Amino acid sequence: MSKCRNLIATTALATLLAAPGFAQELGLGRPALPEEIDAWDVAVLPDGTGLPVGSGDVYDGEEAWINNCAACHGDFAEGAGAWPVIAGGQGTLTNPRPVKTVGSYWPYLSTVFDYVHRSMPFGAAQILTYDETYAIVAYILYSNQIVEDDFVLSNENFTEVVMPNADGFIVDDRVETEFPLFVTEPCMSNCSDPVEISKRASDIAVTPPFPRLLLDGTVVEPGEMVEEASMDAGTATDAAPVEEAAAEPAAEEVQVASLDPALVEAGESAFRQCRSCHQVGDGARNGTGPMLNGVVGRASGAVEGFRYSPAFTEKAESGHVWTPESLDAFLENPSDYIPRNRMAFRGVRDADERAALIAYLTSHSN
Amino acid sequence: MTDQSNDAPRKAGGASRRDFLRTAGLAAGGAALAATGARANTPDPLITEIQPYASFTGEAVDATPYGMPIHFEEHVVRRNVEWLTADPISSINFTPIHALDGTITPQGCAFERHHSGAIEMSKQEYRLMINGLVDRPLVFTFADLMRMPRESRVAFCECAANSGMEWGGAQLNGAQFTHGMIHNMEYIGVPLRVLLEEAGVQPEGKWVYVEGHDASSNGRSIPLEKAMDDCLVAFYANGEALRMEHGYPVRLIVPGWEGNMWVKWLRRIAVYHAAVESREETSKYTDLLANGTARKWTWEMDAKSVITAPSPQVPASHGPGPMVITGLAWSGRGKITRVDVSMDGGVNWVEARIAGEPQSMALTRFYVDHVWDGKPMLLQSRAVDETGYVQPTKDQLRAVRGLQSVYHNNGIQTWHVNENGEAENVEVS
């Protein structure tokens, strides 16, 4: 922090000296104020530059972790779904499937602090205080067996922590190691014996379906043979399916007629803050949070295949149902409404915005 | 064809599309005849009959104040491979390079890579700070940037993970998926050097850290020499404002270097004595070697090329005879000086024709005008850049790096084209 203060002092001095035109080519822009620099300059470097004053222990870290991180990274930092694994993996870097975690791969603790503080939790970044960040980083160290359970991390001892893979990196050496191999006179003829196919993408078959495009503009849909497409293109077919498809939206319009379309649209826009965890609409699946089709009018904790937090399960067992009213109360302050739930979201203060969100969810609930 | 109603061509999709396909089918028949040198037996109704578009009027001006491609081209779009990432908000999609030609990528189909989603920020809200080891920490507005000297340059932006799924062997079937984490645009912006000079870099300042306004911030450290050399703080691409998904209103251009450093929604430029060693330059965008150590600071994108057509998404279904083999080549270390193409999996090569004048650290288009005998081909391309670096085979790369690098796979791509012209991603040995 002393370095940080010095920086601010220097800044103030520079500001005083920066009279119009002073060594500036253009004189555009204005001096950055110390409060502005404080707000944005949150970078922390391996040598401790930028580290704020604060501290946190493993115990508090575990609680903050469960509330803010576990939904994606697992209770023990083991990872969930396809989200990053944070702990474990030590000794796997030479394996066919290396597990790159904070403990097994990350060379600097400063990176963990910097990233957690500025970019986590995903979908609600910058809600963690400095002390909470120290505590979560302490818990990550503990879950990687780098420190004991009584460890307290602070700005005082931060740079003393040595990461297991600190010496695991070399600076790019391609020019030294690869250029001698690849800067050559390329062979043009009879460069090798005839070659054979050794691997095929079709053996793995993980490519999403795609149309193929022919030179004449014909589009061959996935699963269709090129010849079939040409045949189809040359044959008149009935137009009935088109008419059927056209009839469907009308029925939907009737169902949601009681909702204000403008409100639903506003809700769809507001839902952006939710969609990093929740899906809704056609094909919605459980993600970090449960899928929300049909949520309005549904008993809480009722989506099949979703692992709810104990707090949520308890609420569900009490017979709680999601109505527009209960959703409104929940969304206003999720952690007040269901204490210790795992939804890392601070809530929606604006009542109109909540109404829009609920209208949007209702439009997917009939 | 004569029963078409006069407004049919104006409708997108549905019946008019079906009619189009019928027309296209007839036209294809004619083309096939032409290709084999045969004569048409029956007159082509597209010529002998008066077509609706030749009689009735078309759309008025202003029907689409900002035009989209005609609906026949609706399949030329970015595509995603869902299983690659945990969530589409922190994810990537792919440029349809198989369906494009030339070198400039239209913004609307240029690949997207977000670490916490594409954010919406107006020019009025935009602020850019320069601080750290500078004489004058400054804040700029968008209007300030627009009053500074501007430069233009064409540059490719390639994600370091482009082709990363192919380290273990041929996996994704299509040039869009194997090589589509790339785009190439003409940028207009203020040289980063101008901004740094405005703030006055102090002698102990050696690194420039750049970060974005979005929640991920995606900060990266750039050595001062590069920052003072050719980086641009850009606000226009291909003649118009950047798209939201590419960092509107302001992103950083770092020519030749991995796309992750091209910070979008650029918020802060900070001068430090050392690299910040942020998440994106330690835990990610570092290249794990076979021995368990990892390379860091692997910024330059090595010389690379790919045949964009024919390829799995654009088969050579036209049959034997004249055909165009085309593709893209690029190098993060300078100009492309030569591209060779092989049709037998790398045994024999011919030099491709390069279109136009290659530009440093920009995509270069190449063509081979080939008369196909209809036999299967193993198509490969091989780029050479002005350092004399010759694009290696995938096996040559694996011999040096192992299979775990994820990033910087610039090995030679092979497409197997069968007798029917259908193409598949394969490897040969």
Q: What is the residue extent of each domain of chain B?
A: 8-73, 87-295, 304-426
CA distance A262 to B65: 24
Neighbours of A70 (CB within 10 A): 20
How many residues can be counted in chain B?
Answer: 429
- Which residues in chain A have Cβ-Cβ distances shorter than 8 Å to B257? none
* The CA-based dihedral angle spanning residues B48, B53, B56, B62, taken in that order and rounded to the nearest 10 degrees: -170
The pLDDT of residue B23: 45
> Is there a contact between B396 and A181 if contact means CB atoms under 8 Å apart?
yes
Q: Which residues of B230-261 are buried (b: 16+ CB within 10 A; e: fewer)?
A: bbbbbbbbbeeebeebbbbbbbbbbbbbbbbb
CA distance A104 to A99: 7
- Preferred mutation among B138, B272, B410, B416 to probe A, highest tally of A CBs within 10 A: B138
- Determine the CATH number of domain B87-295: 3.90.420.10
CA distance A129 to A24: 37
The pLDDT of residue A21: 41
Q: How far is B347 from chain A (nearest CA, A)?
A: 5
CA distance A329 to B235: 43
pLDDT in tens, chain A (366 residues): 344 444 444 444 444 444 444 456 899 999 999 999 999 999 999 999 999 999 999 999 999 999 999 999 999 988 887 889 999 999 999 998 999 999 999 999 999 999 999 999 999 999 999 999 999 999 999 999 999 999 999 999 999 999 999 999 999 999 999 999 999 999 999 999 999 999 999 988 899 999 999 999 999 999 888 776 655 444 333 333 333 333 333 333 334 447 888 888 888 888 877 877 788 988 888 877 888 998 988 888 888 888 787 788 888 888 888 988 889 989 988 888 888 777 777 788 888 989 999 989 988 886
- Which residues in chain A have Cβ-Cβ distances shorter than 8 Å to B300? 172, 174
The answer to whether B139 and B129 are in contact (CB under 8 A) is yes
CATH fold, domain B304-426, is Immunoglobulin-like (2.60.40)
- Preferred mutation among A44, A175, A189, A210 to probe B, highest tally of B CBs within 10 A: A210
For residue B270, the chain A residue with the least C-alpha distance is A41
- Which residues in chain B have Cβ-Cβ distances shorter than 8 Å to A182? 389-392, 396
ipTM score for this prediction: 0.89
> Is there a contact between A47 and B81 if contact means CB atoms under 8 Å apart?
no
Instruction: Out of B135, B274, B314, name the one closest to residue A23 (CB).
Output: B135
The pLDDT of residue A300: 86
The answer to whether A42 and A36 are in contact (CB under 8 A) is no
- Which residues in chain A have Cβ-Cβ distances shorter than 8 Å to B420? 226
Structure tokens at B288: 């794990």
CA distance A301 to A243: 40
- Say if residue A141 is exposed, middle or buried (CB neighbours under 10 Å; 0-12, 13-18, 19+): buried
Q: Which residues of A34-44 are buried (b: 16+ CB within 10 A; e: fewer)?
A: eebbeebbbbb
- pLDDT for residue B46 is more than 80: yes
Taking CA atoms, B258 is separated from A259, B18, B304, in Å, by 48, 43, 13
Confidence of residue B37 (pLDDT cuts 50, 70, 90): low
- Preferred mutation among B84, B100, B286, B393 to probe A, highest tally of A CBs within 10 A: B286
Structure tokens at B22: 């019928």
Range name among A248-252, B92-96, B224-228, B230-234 with the lowest pLDDT average: A248-252
Give the residue with greater pLDDT, B416 vs A240. B416
Confidence of residue B285 (pLDDT cuts 50, 70, 90): very high
Q: What pairs with residue A233 in β-bridges?
A: none
Q: What is the pTM of this model?
A: 0.81
Residue A26 in contact with partner chain B when CB distance is under 8 A: yes
- Which residues in chain A have Cβ-Cβ distances shorter than 8 Å to B275? 45
The pLDDT of residue A243: 36
CA distance B427 to B429: 7
**A residues 69-108 closer than 8 Å to B (CB):** 72, 81-84, 93-94, 96, 98, 100, 102, 105-108
Average pLDDT over chain B reads: 92
- Which residues in chain B have Cβ-Cβ distances shorter than 8 Å to A226? 315, 317, 420-422
- pLDDT for residue B1 is more than 50: no
CA distance A186 to A182: 9
Q: Tens digits of per-residue pLDDT, B90-135? A: 899 999 999 999 999 999 999 999 999 999 999 999 999 999 999 9
Place of tokens 């986590």: A120
CA distance B371 to B367: 13
- Which residues in chain B have Cβ-Cβ distances shorter than 8 Å to A110? 277
Place of tokens 């057509």: B309
Side chain identity at residue A226, one-letter code: V
The pLDDT of residue A310: 79
CA distance B245 to A223: 31
Q: How far is B230 from chain A (nearest CA, A)?
A: 19
Starting at the edge strand found earlier in the chain, the sheet holding A197-200 runs: A197-200, B423-428, B414-417, B377-385, B336-342, B350-351
Residue B404 in contact with partner chain A when CB distance is under 8 A: yes
Taking CA atoms, A24 is separated from A16, A17, B197, B198, B230, in Å, by 14, 12, 8, 5, 21
CA A56 to chain centre: 24
Starting at the edge strand found earlier in the chain, the sheet holding B113-114 runs: B79-80, B91-94, B113-114
Residue A31 in contact with partner chain B when CB distance is under 8 A: yes
**B residues 271-330 closer than 8 Å to A (CB):** 272-279, 282-283, 286, 288, 290-300, 302, 312-315, 317-318
Q: Which residues of A5-18 are buried (b: 16+ CB within 10 A; e: fewer)?
A: eebbeebeebbeeb
CA-closest candidate to residue A211, choices B315, B367, B231, B243 = B315
The answer to whether B243 and B228 are in contact (CB under 8 A) is no
Tell me the count of A-B CB pairs closer than 8 A. Answer: 338
> Is there a contact between B25 and A193 if contact means CB atoms under 8 Å apart?
no
- Output Rg (C-alpha) for chain A, integer angstroms: 28
Please give the domain boundaries of chain A with CATH numbers for all domains.
1-41 (no CATH), 42-172 (1.10.760.10), 261-363 (1.10.760.10)
CA distance A316 to A311: 9
Strand B79-80 relative to strand B353-354: parallel, antiparallel, unpaired? unpaired
**A residues 130-159 closer than 8 Å to B (CB):** none
Query: Could you write out the DSSP letters of every residue in A241-261?
Result: HHHHHHHHHHHHHHHTTTS-H
For residue A11, the chain B residue with the least C-alpha distance is B137
Q: B215: which residues sit within 8 A by CB, 6+ positions away?
A: A119, A122, A123, A125, A126, B116, B117
CA A31 to chain centre: 34
Instruction: Out of A30, A115, A213, name the one closest to residue B138 (CB).
Output: A30
Determine which helix (DSSP H) or strand (DSSP E) holds A153, and give its type and residue range. Answer: strand A152-154
- Output Rg (C-alpha) for chain B, integer angstroms: 24
Instruction: Out of A197, A217, A272, name the one closest to residue B426 (CB).
Output: A197
CA distance A338 to A326: 11
The pLDDT of residue A245: 37
3-class SS of residue B79: strand
Confidence of residue B357 (pLDDT cuts 50, 70, 90): very high
Structure tokens at A218: 């014909």
The pLDDT of residue A81: 79
- Preferred mutation among A36, A94, A133, A273 to probe B, highest tally of B CBs within 10 A: A94
Largest CA distance in chain B: 81
The pLDDT of residue A24: 67
Q: How far is B124 from chain A (nearest CA, A)?
A: 14
Taking CA atoms, B58 is separated from B49, B64, B376, in Å, by 18, 13, 44
> Is there a contact between A14 and B116 if contact means CB atoms under 8 Å apart?
no
CA distance B424 to B132: 51
Q: B35: which residues sit within 8 A by CB, 6+ positions away?
A: B318, B319, B321, B322
The pLDDT of residue A23: 59
CA distance B320 to B346: 22
- pLDDT for residue B387 is more than 60: yes
Neighbours of A267 (CB within 10 A): 23
Q: State the DSSP code for B280.
A: G
- pLDDT for residue B284 is more than 50: yes
Determine which helix (DSSP H) or strand (DSSP E) holds B232, and give its type and residue range. Answer: strand B232-237
For residue A173, the chain B residue with the least C-alpha distance is B295
3-class SS of residue B418: coil
CA A321 to chain centre: 29
Q: How far is B415 from chain A (nearest CA, A)?
A: 10
Residue A324, preceding peptide bond in cis (omega within 30° of 0): no
**B residues 61-100 closer than 8 Å to A (CB):** 72, 75-76, 79-83, 85-87, 89-90, 98-99
Q: Tens digits of per-residue pLDDT, B243-267? A: 999 999 999 999 999 999 999 999 9
CA-closest candidate to residue B260, choices B157, B123, B402 = B157
- Which residues in chain A have Cβ-Cβ distances shorter than 8 Å to B174? 207, 210
Query: Looking at residues B169-190, what average pLDDT do you find?
Result: 97
Side chain identity at residue B151, one-letter code: E
The pLDDT of residue A68: 93
The pLDDT of residue A228: 60
Q: B404: which residues sit within 8 A by CB, 6+ positions away?
A: A93, A96, A98, B167, B288, B289, B290
3-class SS of residue B246: helix
Determine which helix (DSSP H) or strand (DSSP E) holds B5, and give its type and residue range. Answer: none
- Which residues in chain A have Cβ-Cβ distances shorter than 8 Å to B17? none
Instruction: Out of A114, A196, A197, name the one closest to residue B278 (CB).
Output: A114
